[in-house]
Structures are given as structure tokens and as C-alpha cells.
Structure 1
Amino acid sequence: MAVLTEEQTMLRDMARDWASNESPVGAWRKIRNANEARGYDPAAYATMAEMGWTGVIIPEAQGGSDFGWLSLGLVVEELGKTLAASPIAASAAAASAILLGGSDAQRDAYLPRIASGELVATLAVDEGPRHDPEAITASVSGGKLTGTKAFVAEGDSAGLFVVAATDGLYLVEAGEGVTVDRRHLVDFRSHAQVTFDGASADKLADGGDGLRDAVLDRAAVLAAAEMLGMAGQSFDTTLAYLKQRVQFGQVLATFQALQHRMANLFTEIELMRSAVEAGLAAIDRGGDTRQAASLAKAKANEVGHLMSRELIQLHGGIGMTDEYDAGFYLKRMRVLEQMWGNTAYHRERFARLSGF
């Protein structure tokens, strides 16, 4: 477990209290039932912005707090525990592209608006059903971008897209030449197919593959941080259920076989925490983040899949019902597993980077 500063501890506790009291799972259920394309509550996101969470990784010169990626990961983890829906992770990943490769003019134009919560930004990279940043066909000619991006997270409400093209990353504002079509996934969050047809595109100053990989690393680790929060909450919920559920005249938690399963899950989640926090710390240190990011996402995928499956199984029949919250965690976890690379993708990438 990472050693937190006093300020980071306060930030984590603030996020935990707010998520528990102001955005519990019941709040997400209301959003799901409303079935709106944006998939989150704008008022809740405005509150997050007021608390400074939308500007955690943005420099003070552009209206942020420059508090680092580990600090942002703490917030995302706590929001994940209650399934609090927001574009905070998507906007942060998009903001990182501008931070790493943008000009001064691009930074001044967009980062203050992202930090204030006024502007929702997102990455538009993959063009097929699986994460494959090498399979890019979107292209730019004469400052106009043409191509289609599938399953763009927060695409329904985004005002700015960081788009991967054949020759680098481009900034494209929503509007003329940009068509957004809602895609329905099991987690009921915002996922859109975005078509660019001659949309005005502004290339990031440093827009090569190195920048793209660095940005995708940040997106992957933030997804892993959300999965960590969900896995931890799933464990706590399951343990509480086993302690009160009586079967065959005994509390389920007294069965040794179930104790062993829970002990194994606890160990796996702690390993997941170490990998995710190491990934966030690697981003804060700077330099090559590829191995740390792939390790974090691969472990998060593996443990998140296991914990969400056990969450359903150990709750028995009630875990399969919509009236219970377990299904929400399972569905969101399955979507996050695929975002920014599944387990096989990151295992192969880590091995390749390690020289195997």
C-alpha cells in the first residue's frame, strides 16, 4: 500500500465521504433508470469540479491543483466503490495528451475548461471491438479529419475529442463534421460511435506513437483504479453477506471452504492494489510507464474478473436479481476489462517489453 501524504489522505477521505453520502449505488440506479445517453448526473459532476477533482492532474497555471496521478487514482477508486458515474477519468486521460504533447496555446485553450468541469474531453482511439492502437485508419488531410471511432467512453457528452490518426493525435471539437451515435453496453454508461467527416483537427505538437502510448497508459491505469475500488467494495459486501446469511442452521461465514475463498480474494485484491498504485506512482515519476501500466491493467483485469464473479456466486440467487446491486458491479467490471486492453493484450505487451 502506498504511503500517503496528509493532503492525499484528506483527499481520499473527502472522496470516500462524498461518494458514500451523496452518490451511493442508489444514485447510480436512478441514472440507469433514466436511460439518458450521457450516463451521469451533471449536477454531481459540477460538485466534483467544485471540490477540485477535475483538475487534480492539471497545473495551477491552467486552473488545476497539480496534485498528481496517485491522488487522482485515490479519487477514482473511491468513486468506483459506489459506481459514481462521471467523465472524470476520461477527461483526465484526454487532458494528459494536451499536457504531454500540446502547445502553450492548446493548453491555455482547453485545460482551464477541463479543470473547471466546464468541458468534458475524451479519447477516441479504437476503431474496432477490441483495443488495438496499431489498427488506426483515421486520417487527416488539409487539417480535416475523417474516420470512425467505436465505443468512445463519454462520447455522448464530450465537447473535445483527442483522436488517434495515422500520423499522431489530434484535437477535434464537437460540432460540424462530428456525428455521435449512442452505443448501448451492459454497464449503461456513455459509449458512443463517433464519426468524423471532414472535421477540423488541430494536431498536438508532439503527436507521435510515444505520446499515444503514454496517454493510453494513463487511461489504462485510471480504469484499473476504478476497478480496484469496485473490487474492494465487492469484497466488503460479500463478506458482510456471508456473516449474516444462515444456511443449514449455520452462518455461512463459519464454513471453512468459504473462509478460504475469501482469504484468497483478500490476498488477490491487495496484490491488485500494489500493482495499481505502482502504476500511478510510475506516472508521477515520469519516464517510461509502459511496463507499470500494463502490469496494473493486467492484474486489475484478472482480479476484477475473479472478484465480480465470486460476488455473484457467493450471493447465490439474490446476486442475479436487478433489485440487488451485485449485477451493477459485474457489468461495469466486464466493460472496464476490455477498455484500453484486456488481460491477454497487457500480458503480451508486458512480456514483449521485458524482452521475452
Structure 2
Amino acid sequence: MSFIKKFIEQETINRRNLLLASAYGLSGAAALRMFGAGAAHAAVENPTIAWSYRDRTNPYWNYIVYGGEAFVESLGLPKSALVNLINEGSSEKSLADVKALLAKDGNKVALAIDANDAPNCRPVVEAVAAAGAHVSTIWNKTDDLHPWDFGDNYVSHMTWSDEGPAEQTARILFDAMGKKGGVVHLGGIASNNPAVERLNGLKNALKDYPDIQLLDAQPADWDTQKANQIMASFLTRYGDEIKGVHCANDTIAYGVLEALRAEGIEGMPVVSYDGNERAVELVAKGEILATVFTNPYWGGGITAALAYYATIGAFKPSDEPHEHREFYGPTILITPKDALDFKAKYLDTNPTYDWKDFWGPSNGPIQYKS
């Protein structure tokens, strides 16, 4: 029997088994365990490399895509070879876009994705696995979803351990406030893992500052305009009680600073997260006290690389230890004393990375709270 005939027959069996499992009410992960996920997935030549993400108006996602493009160029391909699936903050669009690409290119898809929110990650992964394609995810997934439950199709998940760094920025903020007074927090999308962890980091720091009061915490959905509106409402409601602002990311901080300027307030202590270029410049000037860099350029490139090299059969994900399939990305705290040096090293020019060194800058296996 020819290879092609065998492959077609096995794909038919795989799809039939998934349909049967669905009829019995099994989840995608259970179905793949039941029928042996990845048993007959052959290496693919010239896969479709895709990145699915929120938008390019956010500097963070620009760096993610720049990294993806740099990886594609390392293969001798033009940047345009990277397929951009922009979900505009909609989990429904994220899943629909992925399914449309899978319907077109099937098992040739090598997908890198932030699923937009944690619950959306499972249907994305199940759709990829059912098509025999490969996916690597970042940031958002539920704790009960693991790559090793999907054979080789779910290649890897990378997130960042945000509680510790967010607690560091909170402590810097509280010290600048004189260790007393009211603080407000503006967060990301409520169901996003990083939004949850960054708020938890603030709450952890509060335990050691009895004279600091958390006046309010509201989701700003990672959006500058929404953050501006929320901060304006905080100022109306709490006025002079607010002595500091804890922001879940840099784009939120930009909206906060605009709201403060509109009220003629200068010197209010503010901290943020992400380490975008504009934010780092504001840190250097002392307008933001600290931000945290998660190296999105490396994250964007390596996530695409993992999906691609698994797709072409360069390595077999199921042969890797768990810490190579779920791992933390790197973080760097940036303060005024080191902001300019950091900018020169990481932002003025992008470092050169070996895209086959999948776990070099990573920061250990993901730890789950019991």
C-alpha cells in the first residue's frame, strides 16, 4: 500500500474515531487518549505558518509578530509567508479563523496562538488535533489542559510567571507612596491568566503594607482608551484618596497617565507591565516607576518555531519532558536606573536568537497551585 493511501486511510479513521467519541460525549482530550493521538501523523513539507493574536495596535503584539516574522525569515522565506490571524479581542473570531485555516490547509498548519482567553484554548487545540495539524500556545489556557494529552499535535504552551514580578512592581509603588494611602488597580481582560496573576501579585504585596488600602480594581481589557475612562471615573469617585496606580500592562498605563494629566495631576506614582519601548522611555524619565519585560520578540519567534519544527518532523514533542511542553518565558524588571541600558540591549536592536534553541531563555516548568 502506498504511503499516500495509508495516510488517507488513517486520516479517515482518525476523523471517524473523533466523531464516535463526540457521539459518546467525550471531550477532545479524552477522545485523543482513547484512540491514540498522533499515531499516524507524518512530517509535512512547506507547512503554513500562522500566528493568531489580538491586534497590532498594541506594541506588545507588534513585537510578538516581529519575532514570528524573524523566524520565518530565518527559513529563507519572506515576512509575508507568515499568516496573520487577527482576532480583535474576540475568542469567537479566534476559533473561527483557526477553523477556516484548518479547513483550507488541514494538517499542513503550524499554528502559534494566544487563544485570547483561557476557555477558548481547548476548542482551538481540539480543532487543530482533529485536523492532524500542530499548535503552540502562549499566555491563556485552563490549568486542566496539557499538551501531553494531545500526543504530538499540541506541541507546547508558554506563559509567564506574573505574580512575582507584579508583586515587585507593587512594592516599588507602595514604597514610593510612603507605605500608606489608597491604590487603584486597572487590569486586563478578567478571564486572562496574566490579568489574574498580576492582580494577585498586587494583593500579595498588600499583606506587608497594612497602611495601604486597595480602593478599587477594574478590568480595562488591555485597552488604553478604556483605561483612560476608568481612571477618570476613579478620580471622580476617590479624588485625593488615590496615592498610586497599579497597571496590568503598559497600554493601560498610557491611558492612566492621560487621565491624570487631564486633571492636572503630576508625580502620581504609577507602575505597569510589558516593557514596551514607550513605557521604557517613560520609566527612564521617572513618569512610570517600573515595568516588566517578557521578551515578546523571542516569545513570538520561538512559539512559531516550535509549531513549525514539530510539523516538519524535526523533533517529536511526545518524546520531550513535560518541562519542555509547558514552561515559563523570561521576565526582566525595569526601573529608572537601568531603563536606558535595557532599551539599548533589547529594544533599539533586536538580539539575534537561535530559533532551534527552543528552551534557552525559558524560565522553568509551569507550576500549578493545588
TM-score range, shorter chain: under 0.3
Higher helix share: 1
Bigger relative contact order (CA 8 A; separation at least 6): 2
